[in-house]
Amino acid sequence: MAVSTNDLRNGMTLDLAEGLFSIVEFQHVKPGKGGAFVRTKLKNVRSGAVIERTFRADEKLEQAIIDKREMQFLYRDGADYVFMDTQSYEQLTVPVGSLGDAASYLKEGDDAIVQFFGTEIVGIDLPAAVELTVTDTEPGIQGDRVSGARKPATLETGLVVQVPLFVNPGEKIKVDTRSGEYLTRA
């Protein structure tokens, strides 16, 4: 579907010759001399690379239609992840490369919104924060009361985050999925 550069919005996905790009930022510029143009910051949906690109005003671009489906993560099958569509109960095997960083936050039974471009998975939307169990961390030492001190903790998905000294193995913590940082105990 062709869309004019005058109709661009943040979050819109474009199918360009270089690949699939999501608009992070755009700005319409009308210089005193010459024609108007649109300056954009685009993020590659597959690789995550960010590029800046300038288009002429009223230039036609191909908009990519992204289908979002709610799916439940069932289990890991070797290096692949198996999801189930919550509407049709159809199972789908997804290579870990298609999930990107989201694989570090998924545990069995979690719901996620999977983004499809045709039949290809191009991304996954997670909630802002997830609850994960700490599987391994050093115990807090009596008398170690430095304000703001942190220690590494390994979570049930294999993700390593910095947590306060009072967090112990077996505790559930909330982790921000956007930054990968510890938020609070659950």
Predicted pLDDT at 39:
92
Coil, helix or strand for 155?
Answer: strand
Specify the CATH number of the domain 129-185: 2.40.50.140
Check if 2-62 and 67-125 are the same fold.
no
Q: What is the pLDDT of residues 1-50, one digit of tens each?
A: 788 888 888 888 888 888 888 888 999 988 888 888 999 999 888 777 88
> Which DSSP letter does residue 118 get?
T
For 62, 92, 120, the CA distances from 74, given in Å and listed in that order, are 35, 10, 19
Query: What are 37-63's pLDDT values in tens digits?
Result: 999 999 888 777 889 999 888 889 888
pTM of the model: 0.71
85-114 confidence digits (pLDDT tens):
888 888 888 888 777 778 888 888 888 888
The order of strands in the sheet holding 91-95 is 91-95, 80-85, 67-77, 111-117, 120-125
Superfamily for the 67-125 domain? Nucleic acid-binding proteins (2.40.50.140)
Does 148 score more than 80 pLDDT? no
CATH number of 2-62: 2.30.30.30
